[in-house]
C-alpha cells in the first residue's frame, strides 16, 4: 500500500455526509497519524516532510484532509470542530491494528487531544503510543479566535453568521458563528484529563498565533505524568524550517522506539 493516490472515506449521515480524502502508506508500526492545522492539508510542508521521513524509516502513516480542506468534500462555511473530530475518529477506526502515534499541528493538536480523550473515556488508551503536538491550538475557537476578535467582527458574525479575518499566510479566511458556537462543546479548559500516553509538545516562542504560554497552560491541563514541553526561542508558528523538522522527526523517532 502506498499513498501516491488519494483514497476516500464516507463520514457522517444524511445531509452531514461528506467524502474525506486520505493517503495511507503501509509499513512497520507504530503507525503515524498526521492531523493538520486549520486551513492546512496533507500537502503542507510538515505533513510532506514527515511522510517522506516515515517512508525512509519503513513506518506506516495515515494523513487526511478535513472536510472543507484539500481534496475532501464539504463546505468550510458549514464545518466545525465536531465534524473534524468525527472524521479523525473514523480514520482512526479505519487504521485499526496496534498502538499508534498521533502528530497534530496547531488545530490538529486540539483534535489530537480530543481524540485521546475520546479513547480514554472508552478505555482504549492502550491504542495510543504517544502524542506529538506542534504549537497545539487547543480551544482555539474560543481563546484564540472569539476572545481576540474586535467587536466589529463579533457584530458581523452576529448579523451575518460569518466574518473574514486577515491571514499572515494567505487570503483572509472565514470565521463562522457555527464554528465558534459548536466549538464550545469541545473546550478542554477547566477539564483536566489523562491522555494515557506520552505527550511531547513543540512550541515556538515567536509564534504570533499560538502564544507559548498557551502551551504551558496545556501542560497544567494534562494529568498524565509523561508530558514534556520544548520551547524553541526563535521558533515561529509553522516550525517548518530544516532545524525544526529535524527536531520534530527526532521527537517522533523517540516515541517510535518506546512503542516497540
Residue with cell 522527526: 249
Catalytic residue among 88, 209, 237, 244: 237
Q: Give dist(CA 55, CA 137) in Å, integer.
A: 28
Q: Which of 61, 59, 49, 56 is nearest to 3 (CA)?
A: 61
3-state DSSP assignment of residue 129? strand
Catalytic residue among 65, 207, 209, 244: 207
Q: Give dist(CA 23, CA 171) in Å, integer.
A: 26
Q: Give dist(CA 235, CA 123) in Å, integer.
A: 36
Is residue 69 part of the annotated active site? The answer reads no
3-state DSSP assignment of residue 68? coil
Q: Give dist(CA 202, CA 218) in Å, integer.
A: 12
Q: Give dist(CA 196, CA 12) in Å, integer.
A: 28
Q: Which helix H or strand E contains 98, and what residues bound it?
A: none
Characterize the bridge pairing of strands 18-25 and 7-11: antiparallel
**CA dihedral angle for residue 123, residue 128, residue 134, residue 137, rounded to 10 degrees:** -20
Is residue 191 part of the annotated active site? The answer reads no
Q: Give dist(CA 106, CA 84) in Å, integer.
A: 14
Q: Which residues contact 28 (CB under 8 A, 6 or more apart)?
A: 57, 58, 59, 60
Catalytic residue among 106, 139, 209, 214: 106
Is residue 44 part of the annotated active site? The answer reads no
| Catalytic positions, written as ranges | 106, 207, 237
Amino acid at each position: 500500500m502506498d499513498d501516491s493516490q488519494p483514497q476516500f472515506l464516507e463520514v457522517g449521515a444524511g445531509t452531514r455526509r461528506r467524502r474525506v480524502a486520505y493517503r495511507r502508506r503501509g509499513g512497520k508500526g507504530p503507525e503515524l497519524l498526521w492531523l493538520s492545522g486549520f486551513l492546512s492539508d496533507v500537502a503542507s510542508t510538515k505533513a510532506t516532510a514527515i511522510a517522506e521521513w516515515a517512508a525512509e524509516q519503513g513506518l506506516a502513516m495515515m494523513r487526511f484532509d478535513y472536510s472543507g480542506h484539500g481534496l475532501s468534500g464539504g463546505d468550510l462555511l458549514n464545518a466545525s470542530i465536531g465534524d473534524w473530530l468525527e472524521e479523525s475518529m473514523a480514520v482512526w477506526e479505519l487504521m485499526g491494528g496496534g498502538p499508534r502515534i498521533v502528530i497534530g499541528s496547531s488545530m490538529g493538536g486540539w483534535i489530537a487531544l480530543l481524540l485521546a480523550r475520546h479513547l480514554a473515556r472508552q478505555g482504549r488508551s492502550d491504542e495510543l503510543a504517544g502524542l506529538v503536538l506542534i504549537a497545539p491550538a487547543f480551544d482555539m475557537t474560543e481563546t484564540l479566535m472569539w476572545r481576540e476578535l474586535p467587536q466589529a467582527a463579533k457584530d458581523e458574525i452576529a448579523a451575518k453568521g460569518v466574518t473574514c479575518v486577515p491571514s499572515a499566510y494567505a487570503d483572509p479566511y472565514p470565521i463562522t458563528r457555527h464554528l465558534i458556537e459548536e466549538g464550545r462543546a469541545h473546550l478542554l479548559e477547566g477539564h483536566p484529563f489523562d491522555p494515557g500516553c506520552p505527550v511531547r509538545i513543540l512550541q515556538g516562542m515567536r509564534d504570533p498565533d499560538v502564544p507559548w504560554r498557551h502551551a504551558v497552560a496545556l501542560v497544567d491541563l494534562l494529568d498524565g505524568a509523561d508530558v514534556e514541553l520544548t520551547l524553541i526561542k526563535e521558533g515561529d508558528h509553522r516550525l517548518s524550517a530544516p532545524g525544526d523538522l529535524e527536531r520534530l522527526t527526532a521527537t517522533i523517532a523517540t516515541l517510535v522506539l518506546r512503542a516497540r
